[in-house]
Amino acid sequence: MIIREADRLNSVKEYYFSTKLKQIQKMREEGNDVLNLGIGNPDLKPSEQTIAELKNTASQDGVHGYQSYIGIPELRQAISDWLKNTYGLSLDPISEVLPLIGSKEGIMHISMAFLNENDKVLVPNPGYPAYAAVAKLVNAEIITYDLQETSNWAPDLRRIERLDVGEVKIMWLNYPNMPTGANLDPAIVKRLITLAKEKRFLIVNDNPYSMILNDHPSSLLEIEGAKEVIIELNSLSKSHNMAGWRLGWVAGNKDYLQSILKVKSNVDSGMFLPIQKAAVKALSSGKEWFDSVNNIYRKRRGYVWKIMDELGCSYNKQQTGMFIWAKIPEQYDRVDTLTDELLEKSHVFITPGLIFGSGGDRYVRISLCNTEKTLNEALTRVRAFVNSKKLISQQN
């Protein structure tokens, strides 16, 4: 390059899965049948009415131009209705719901709207890597807070209260949690709300997994006093099998959303109208549709549990979402030793937990976004991998 890249990129690396997908693609081009169990990329379809609406609207005249930055009224109303029916929330569709081109973009919009250089951001460890990456891009200071299995992956409030939170502007939460699948006790949320009000910082909950293998979907905005200090991201990517459609939203206090809109309106030019119309149909999906999707995930989960058992991992069967998070046995010094060896020798890729922070150093994650046939083949390969290691160990 004849132009030097911006200094902000000095502390940011290419997204882990971006580089790993390149490696997997190269292996496949070399003739290897690699099974990718690492990424939460829904392989199931949206509802039939969702697809039909996309086709129908896209074939019409006058629907291919720029759209409003705040989404069409029907979409905002559908989101508001879905939040009411799912979580019991009553939010104004005009001022308290802002559609986004995916909630991942929302992480950037929110950070740019509220963070100045050197402002402090509370980021979970383990946690979604985008929270820290975006904080670095806007030159904020990251303060990690640990999540531990012994406390069901909940924030340790006593430790957080002892941190220097006086200059914290944003605290990232992600419940139901990714990668651990844990839910958060409302009593902890209430204490966080009190702390956020006292220290004057914003809590952002990233909530895309609540409809997957979760008997009690919930929103942090349900808690009394939450709207004063909490906004919440959500998405159709995981819950409605629409990851590639790029459609989500942020909900909460209108003043926060107005600040986010100042950024958003300078970044994108609205969402494709047929996608918005189709999203309205998707959001009308009833319990039957979600049950059908969860029944598929439930069957797949059984195979993943067997894979984890073969590897000697321990895990909580009560976790929710589209992943299984498990602790590796003591025989492995490093988690990436296991995952790299499994990929190289058995052509099965599972995610090393270390990519989510040091709190994931002894954990692996497997996605449920694979067919039973693929998972059964992975189980066969993993069993052969483990038996081979046992044989080598006995010979030595």
Domain membership of residue 1 (yes or no) is no
User: In this structure, are 23 and 146 located in the same domain?
Assistant: no
pLDDT for 49-103, tens place per residue?
Answer: 999 999 999 999 999 999 999 999 999 999 999 999 999 999 999 999 999 999 9
Domain membership of residue 167 (yes or no) is yes
Q: What is the CATH number of the domain that holds 16?
A: 3.90.1150.10
pLDDT of residue 236: 97
User: In this structure, are 116 and 92 located in the same domain?
Assistant: yes
pLDDT of residue 351: 95
Pairing state of beta strands 230-235 and 248-251? antiparallel
Ranges of residues in the chain whose predicted pLDDT is under 50: none
User: In this structure, are 53 and 98 located in the same domain?
Assistant: yes
User: Which of 256, 282, 308 is the endpoint of a domain?
Assistant: 282
Domain membership of residue 35 (yes or no) is yes
| Tokens standing for residue 191 | 């204490």
What is the domain extent for residue 361? 12-41+287-395
Instruction: Quickly tell me which residue has 């497997």 as its tokens.
Output: 366
Domain membership of residue 266 (yes or no) is yes
Q: What is the pTM of this model?
A: 0.93
Pairing state of beta strands 202-206 and 230-235? parallel
pLDDT of residue 201: 95
pLDDT for 148-186, tens place per residue?
Answer: 999 999 999 988 888 877 789 999 999 999 999 999 999
User: In this structure, are 75 and 23 located in the same domain?
Assistant: no
Print the SS3 string covering 103-130: HHHHHHHHHHHHCCCCCEEEEEECCCHH
| Tokens standing for residue 278 | 């189709």
The DSSP code sequence of 273-314 is HHHHHHHHHHTT--HHHHHHHHHHHHHHHHHHHHHHHHTT-E
pLDDT of residue 386: 92
* Number of domains present in the structure of the chain: 2
Which residues, at least 6 apart from 344, have a Cβ–Cβ distance to it below 8 Å?
A: none
User: In this structure, are 198 and 86 located in the same domain?
Assistant: yes
Domain membership of residue 5 (yes or no) is no
Domain membership of residue 330 (yes or no) is yes
Q: What is the CATH number of the domain that holds 107?
A: 3.40.640.10
Domain membership of residue 2 (yes or no) is no
pLDDT of residue 392: 66
Query: Cis before residue 73, ω within 30 degrees of 0?
Result: no
